[in-house]
Amino acid sequence: MEITGLRDIFLSQEEYLDTEVMVSGWVRSNRDSKNFGFLVISDGTFFTPLQVVYHDSLENFAQAAKLGVGAAVIVEGKLVATPEAKQPFELQASSITVEGDTEASYPLQKKRHTLEYLRTIPHLRPRTNTFQAVFRIRSQVAFALHSFFQERGFVYVHTPIITASDTEGAGEMFQVTTLPLESVPMEKGEVQYGEDFFGKKTSLTVSGQLNGETFAQAFRDIYTFGPTFRAEKSNTQRHAAEFWMIEPEMAFADLDDVMFIAEDMLKYVIQYVLVNAPEELEFLNQFVDKGLLDRLNHIVESEFARVTYTEAVEILQKQNDRFEYKVEWGCDLQTEHERYLTEEVYKRPVFVTDYPKDIKAFYMKLNEDGKTVAAVDCLVPGIGEIIGGSQREDDYEKLKKRMEELKMDLEEYEFYLDLRRYGSTRHGGFGLGFERAVMYITGMSNIRDVLPFPRTVGNCEL
């Protein structure tokens, strides 16, 4: 007989009820009486576990009765409805085969563990309810994003991980090298990068956007979905050194188009998870974040609000008393301001547009006022900024002037300027931090708990 997954059994119960099935899984609990017992097993394909009833008619009843939490088993038997019980059906075992036993030292005995403790066993925590829910949803969110963009004809571009440039002139980057650190080749106080693998200094990417733009100017609509890195030593709940990012980019598109696709995308992804992971969301709503389901349903049904930065500052200034950081035109908005806008003022997601040019990146399109750029941040209740994007400067002269003002190395960006010399188009895009989206959709509050193997300052396990 073939092994049937619990997902199939739960989603097509009618087909399996009153038939003989073979299932596999790991023991979640085992209660035995004198001549029968209940085994709860999960095979990882479905959130809800299966109850197995076994009797002393089994030749290995004694072995079954001793099975510990975590043991792997294969069970054959008949699936029968249990209308009077909590669970809809149970499996009446005709045989239980031990695939792999477990040991008493198994760290996941049946009791609640703190998330902090579970972080110390990243190789085992996916077996718990919370992480079964989180990581299945993570997988679904990833696939929903791909589906969303592919259905709309966007081309998936793998922008490079190792790079010789620094997208935003910004950040602290990880260096990538094959030079021996014990004896770095030096001459006159300079590292001899000619001897490094690529013949130059290289780092891990902080964004694929500029590379993505080159493909948008060929395929019109593209998206990236890959890992990005920041070597920031900030030890917060929201920052990891390695995280994934989605960066769509569209040619022949303006800031309105960017907002339209961003709103559509968020709703699509949330809707996908609502439909495909109802058991997981129910669990998270009950044990992790009581307002989760309401919030997700609310977003899907809302029309996102829109406000300019200048208008938003006027609104916020009236409330300066309540803020730690006082607001004035020209300042960057802090999370407290963002959350006030989306949670108190609009009570739904809001796009804030047209930020002062000096607090935004060089590539954003200068507005006619000469002071602001066509930037947009999408703020959502409970978290603040979830998406940042912009229309890009498509005018060769204006872009060059801005880069010169910022004393950037024009030669390094020759390829980027070329896009404005040869068939430039109005175009724009945005970045969605994937983990931030997963946190939002699962209600988890620490980024370490939505990354399979989180990398943060001082922490790189497995």
Window 369-398: residues binding a copy of itself (CB under 8 A): 394
Identify which of 163, 267, 160, 215 has the alpha carbon closest to the alpha carbon of residue 427.
Answer: 215
Among 191, 274, 293, 315, the residue binding a copy of itself under the rule CB under 8 A is 191
The count of residues interacting with a copy of itself (CB under 8 A) is 108
Considering only residues 37, 49, 70, 349, which one is a binding residue for a copy of itself as defined by CB under 8 A? 70
Distances (CA, A) of 201 to 176, 177, 178, 233, 258: 8, 8, 11, 22, 34
Half-sphere exposure of 125 (CA within 13 A, CB side): 23
Rounded Cα gap, residues 179 and 24, in angstroms: 49
What letter represents residue 96's amino acid?
I
Spatial distance between the Cα atoms of 164 and 103, rounded to a whole number of angstroms: 49
Q: What is the per-residue binding string for a copy of itself in 397-426, x denoting contact by CB under 8 A?
A: ------------------xx-xxxxxxxxx
Question: Of 224, 97, 93, nearest to 155 (Cα)?
Answer: 224
Interface pattern 213-232 for a copy of itself (x via CB under 8 A): -xx-xxxxx----xx-x-x-
- Segment near a copy of itself (CB under 8 A); pick from 123-131, 278-286, 311-319, 376-384: 123-131
- Cβ–Cβ < 8 Å for 386, 378: yes
- Which of positions 141-170 make contact with a copy of itself (CB under 8 A)? 142-143, 146, 150, 153, 155-165
Phi, psi of 357 (to 5 degrees): -60, -30
The answer to whether residue 440 forms part of the interface with a copy of itself (CB under 8 A) is no
φ/ψ bin of 51: left (φ > 0), alpha (ψ from -120 to 50), beta (otherwise) = beta
Exactly one of 134, 206, 251, 269 binds a copy of itself (CB under 8 A); that residue is: 251
35 is a site residue for a copy of itself (CB under 8 A): no
Nearer to a copy of itself, 333 or 366 (CB): 366
Q: Compute the least distance from the CB of residue 156 to a copy of itself, in Å.
A: 4
Within 13 A of 232's CA, how many CA atoms are on the CB side? Answer: 14
Out of 16, 148, 244, 309, name the contact with a copy of itself by CB under 8 A. Answer: 244
Compute the distance between CA of residue 271 and CA of residue 384 in angstroms, rounded to an integer: 20
Least gap, CB of 313 to a copy of itself (angstroms): 33
The window from 70-78, 80-88, 258-266, 293-301 that contacts a copy of itself (CB under 8 A) reads 70-78
In the list 1, 34, 114, 178, the residue contacting a copy of itself (rule: CB under 8 A) is 178
Residue range at the interface with a copy of itself (CB under 8 A); choices 69-77, 86-94, 292-300, 382-390: 69-77
Tokens representing 317 are 């200034």
- In whole angstroms, the minimum distance from the beta carbon of 296 to a copy of itself comes to 21
Task: Identify residues 81-120 at the interface with a copy of itself (CB under 8 A).
Answer: 99-103, 105-106
Nearer to a copy of itself, 248 or 384 (CB): 248
Among 87-95, 125-133, 333-341, 356-364, the segment contacting a copy of itself (CB under 8 A)? 125-133
Asked if residue 211 lies in contact with residue 199, where contact means CB atoms within 8 angstroms, the answer is no
Q: Taking the complex as a whole, how short is the minimal distance between the CB of residue 163 and a copy of itself, in angstroms? A: 7
Shortest Cβ distance from residue 319 to a copy of itself (Å)?
A: 39
Which of 145, 387 has the CB closer to a copy of itself?
145
Q: Is 58 in the site for a copy of itself (CB under 8 A)?
A: no
Residues 6+ apart with CB under 8 A from 152: 221, 261
- 156 or 287, CB closer to a copy of itself? 156
120 neighbors 113 (Cβ within 8 angstroms): no
How far, in Å, CA of 157 to CA of 131, rounded? 30
45 exposure class (CB count in 10 Å sphere: 0-12, 13-18, 19+): middle
Residue with tokens 């309401």: 294
